[in-house]
Structure 1
Amino acid sequence: MDNPGYARRINLMDAALIVVGGIIGGGIFLNPGIAAQRTSSGWMLLALWVAGGLLTLVGCLCYAELGARRPQAGGSYVYLREAFGKLAGFLFGWTMLLVIYSGSSAAVATIFGSYATSVFGLPPDLVKPLAVGALVFVTGINLFGIRLGAQVQNVFAILKLAAIAVLVVTGLAFAGAGTSAAMAPSPSAVTGDLAGALLPVLFAFSGFSYLNNLAGEVRDPQRTLPRALVLGMLIVIAAYVLTNYAYLAVLGHDGLAASQAPAADVMSRVFGAAGAKIIAIGIAISTLGFCNITLVAGARVLQVMGEDGLFFASVARLHPRHRTPNIALAALSGWAIVLVLLANYGQLLDFAAFGDWAAYAVTIATLFWYRRHVKERPSFVTPAYPLLPLLFMATVIGVVIAYTLSKPLSAGVVCAVVVAGLPVYAVWQRLFSKVAR
């Protein structure tokens, strides 16, 4: 057989750690300081992280039903194609390739390069070469099968959780610096900007949908997907809230608001330069894990698009032995490398974050189509439907609007990429399309 199907080799633990690894990248080590600037006290900040986590958990519940309904490779692309037509699916895949997944991978690989140069005392001009090397490394691992890739991902996820545990234990041990002062209202903080404060929080929670792209390789997906999404999300919520408590316990609310690198500041304040180096190593490992799962998940989208005739036929091929979409993986990784070389971290993060959350809102809208047109009851259904999906969509739309107002150029670039996909789709349909499967 020239193109064997995917092998279902991902178990519950693998799947839950994929959720963890897809969410925890560099955001929790950078974004809390931004959120602190926009809140008035430590308690408000912690409440915001809990609220962001619960909102993301709602998104996970919606994706759990979608994954149970369509337990196959491709995730959001498949749901959008089936509910809203091939054009909607193509525009998601097009934006995913050019901006969302590639931009996320490139941005976080750049964080890896920055921390690696810091840890080993290397010159700053090696940041981009190291970022490229990181992308090549994680791509190479996944050319040899999802089992090996999942095992490496498990190691990355466990190590990043260990780094967070070090931060949390440090915060708890040194909470005697005055927890009440850390949590008390801060007169220097900027208040009344809860929507703006929620932006960096939600962006730190993005990436929960990557597991759905790998549904074709999950064992017993109707049961495993929902369990893994909820379990992984609960682990992340606990890790994020405890990490923010550690920041507040050591730095205080004002100190966190003034910090550009809170994790490094906490460890250096307690353990000196050695502590900062230890957490830098942990952050570098965390970024590798994120890049790993982002590229693997995105490659599955391209592979399914190739099968549907909406991308080059070559990317639809799976390796006959390893049953991995190696050509699609190389294509996505190659474009991410181009972005590393062409753009800086801030630009990449802005583009990817806007596109990511806009895509979540549109994808969860497909749940209403499935409920109306597909009568078979899946193994998992979203509780409190339609209230929870509507709550998620309304909140995300509000965040996207706030983001557009704060960064109109970045939002405009992503919208331009989406619009540019319209003539590309028309030309592709005319010249290259084949009958969809």
Structure 2
Amino acid sequence: MDPTPSVSYARRLGSWDAAMIVVGGVIGSGIFLTPAAIARQTGSAAELLAAWAVGGAIALIGALCYAELGTRRPQAGGGYVYLREAFGLVVAFVFGWNLLVVNHSGALAAVATVFVQYAGAAFGVTVDNPGPWAVATIVFLAGVNWFGIRAGSLVQNILTVLKLAAIAALIAIGLSLGGAPAPSAPAPALNPLAFGGALMPVLFSYGGWYYVNDIAGEVRDPQRTLPRALIFGMLLVAACYLLTNLAYLAVLGHDGLAASSAPAADLMRRAFGEPGARLIAAGIAISTLGFCNISMIGAARVFQVMGADGVFFRSAGRLHPRWRSPNVALLLLAAWACALALTGTFDQLLNYSTVGDWLGMAAVIATLFWYRRMHAAEPSAFRTPWYPLLPLAFLAVVLWVVAVTIWNHPRDAGMGALITAAGLPVYFFWRRFAAR
């Protein structure tokens, strides 16, 4: 018997910390860049705003479902834990495999690279080789989070408040500068296929609320805190996104937004010239750094639970005896993300993972039906309203958007399916390895 006492997570985060993790996990660089791509896939300002409104509603439904799941199982690991209990370890591992190989690690590498580029732009410097600087960013954040959840959440709170301030300034300047959305040509009839294609990047921009469930084992009074943080956080994000798009439309119009490669910079450039563009570049840098931080916090907890389950390195399953951080999992995650950043392979990997990412989220939502059936008598501090209509609506929209994405990008979807399938032999290898 191991004489060393087991170390568990400490519940140190309150409602404000959890809400900032929700907001910080959703808002990265997407709202500063993605609206231009959405404008190119929509026929009018009304259709563009409808896409962001629908995406926000779907994300809020997902957050409501995660709120119930989190109150039922308030422990580290989030979706991995729910899938393990509902559908078995092999399904949970494939979900975690995608997070490890592509989704979380690839997003961390990609957004760290974006942070470096925008930080350079804020200082008027062109970064020709952002890879080493992205590695330094990842290593720095891993060092911060080595000292536990309080250190990581303190950094997160500061960065999230700063990013919200940057978005508020962008909205205020855009609406005051433009006044009202610029007139455009009559809108063409709605094309459901094109609208579904536009929803995927919208949903991608709204993704990330689930990070707070990954750290549920470190949230105080999770039965009350998690639902409050998820609902408040997603409503705040949706309001920010809709108002930011209104600001873009007020200044650039739908056609100008569609023609822009960097709408936030174009808006600020019209208001204040190049200093304005550099100012918003600083805001984007802050926002992306905050996303990197919460991505590292959440992902490391998932991999720690996988290690404890014996389907990842056993050492990754242990916590630091003093700081109660998943320090080995942090190092492994940071090492893989650094490798992706240096090789520049993350962009293509993220393209491959988009479909799998949302299918994984749909699978997690589907566990709610299992919990309701198998644990009907189990008390739950929060229950998803209008069950089962809302979870079914979430699944229907996600499957529709995924089908449209597969139709439009069959090669990327096929590669994503291969990456997912590769997780099965790895699972059986780990199970055999752990049994020795």
- If the length of structure 2 is used for normalisation, what is the TM-score? 0.95
1:426 CA displacement: 1.4
Q: Is the 8 A contact 1:160 1:285 kept in 2?
A: yes
Indicate the residue corresponding to 1:300 in structure 2.
Answer: 301
The match for 1:25 among 10, 28, 32 is 28
Q: Distance in 2 between matches of 1:224 and 1:44?
A: 35
Q: Is the 8 A contact 2:113 2:131 kept in 1?
A: yes
Q: Is the 8 A contact 1:100 1:352 kept in 2?
A: yes
1:318 is paired with a residue whose SS is: coil
Deviation per residue, 1:130-168 (Å, 9 max, x gap) = 211211121111111101111110011111111101110
Deviation per residue, 1:73-119 (Å, 9 max, x gap) = 00000000000011011111111100111111111112112212322
Deviation per residue, 1:178-230 (Å, 9 max, x gap) = 53516x6467x999611111121111001111100000000000111011000
Query: Greater shift after overlay, 421-430 or 271-280?
Result: 421-430
Q: Distance in 2 between matches of 1:93 and 1:273?
A: 43
Q: Which amino acid aligns with 1:223?
A: R
Indicate the residue corresponding to 2:15 in structure 1.
Answer: 12
Indicate the residue corresponding to 2:90 in structure 1.
Answer: 87
1:286 CA displacement: 0.5
1:339 CA displacement: 1.1
The match for 2:56 among 31, 49, 53 is 53
Q: Distance in 2 between matches of 1:27 and 1:287?
A: 9
Indicate the residue corresponding to 1:124 in structure 2.
Answer: 127
Runs of 4+ in 1 over 3 A off after TM superposition: 121-124, 184-187, 189-192
Indicate the residue corresponding to 2:101 in structure 1.
Answer: 98
Matched, 1:410 2:412: yes
Query: Greater shift after overlay, 123-132 or 43-52?
Result: 123-132
Indicate the residue corresponding to 2:256 in structure 1.
Answer: 255
1:352 CA displacement: 4.1
Q: Is the 8 A contact 1:186 1:254 kept in 2?
A: no
Q: Distance in 1 between matches of 2:428 and 2:268?
A: 54
Indicate the residue corresponding to 1:424 in structure 2.
Answer: 426
Matched, 1:217 2:228: no
1:121 CA displacement: 3.6
Q: Distance in 2 between matches of 1:370 and 1:138?
A: 36
Q: Distance in 1 between matches of 2:63 and 2:144?
A: 28
Indicate the residue corresponding to 1:316 in structure 2.
Answer: 317
1:413 CA displacement: 2.3
1:37 CA displacement: 1.2
Q: Which amino acid aligns with 1:234?
A: L
Q: Is the 8 A contact 2:107 2:350 kept in 1?
A: yes
The match for 2:136 among 128, 133, 137 is 133
**Residues 137 and 231 from structure 1, CA distance in 2 versus in 1: closer, same or farther, beyond 3 angstroms?**
same
Q: Is the 8 A contact 1:99 1:352 kept in 2?
A: yes
2:129 is paired with a residue whose SS is: helix
The match for 1:69 among 59, 68, 72 is 72
Q: Is the 8 A contact 2:106 2:347 kept in 1?
A: no
Q: Distance in 1 between matches of 2:384 and 2:48?
A: 28
Deviation per residue, 1:11-40 (Å, 9 max, x gap) = 000000100000000111111011111222
Q: Distance in 2 between matches of 1:342 and 1:214?
A: 30
1:397 CA displacement: 1.1
Q: Distance in 2 between matches of 1:133 and 1:211?
A: 25
Matched, 1:203 2:204: yes
Indicate the residue corresponding to 1:233 in structure 2.
Answer: 234
1:345 CA displacement: 5.8
1:376 CA displacement: 0.5
Deviation per residue, 1:280-333 (Å, 9 max, x gap) = 000011011001111110110111111111111100111111100011011111
Query: Greater shift after overlay, 336-345 or 397-406?
Result: 336-345
Q: Distance in 2 between matches of 1:345 and 1:78?
A: 26
Q: Distance in 2 between matches of 1:352 and 1:286?
A: 23
Q: Is the 8 A contact 1:49 1:241 kept in 2?
A: yes
Query: Greater shift after overlay, 418-427 or 222-231?
Result: 418-427
Q: Is the 8 A contact 2:181 2:246 kept in 1?
A: no
Identity %, equivalent residues? 56
Query: Greater shift after overlay, 19-28 or 133-142?
Result: 133-142
Q: Is the 8 A contact 1:101 1:352 kept in 2?
A: no
Q: Distance in 2 between matches of 1:228 and 1:433?
A: 40
Q: Is the 8 A contact 2:41 2:195 kept in 1?
A: yes
Give unmatched runs, 5+ long, in structure 1. Answer: none
Q: Which amino acid aligns with 2:429?
A: V
Indicate the residue corresponding to 1:396 in structure 2.
Answer: 398
1:356 CA displacement: 2.1
Q: Distance in 1 between matches of 2:153 and 2:340?
A: 26
**Residues 345 and 417 from structure 1, CA distance in 2 versus in 1: closer, same or farther, beyond 3 angstroms?**
closer
Q: Is the 8 A contact 1:25 1:290 kept in 2?
A: yes
1:344 CA displacement: 5.0
Indicate the residue corresponding to 1:285 in structure 2.
Answer: 286
Q: Which amino acid aligns with 2:316?
A: V
Q: Is the 8 A contact 2:116 2:134 kept in 1?
A: yes
Q: Distance in 2 between matches of 1:11 and 1:167?
A: 29
Q: Distance in 2 between matches of 1:190 and 1:249?
A: 24
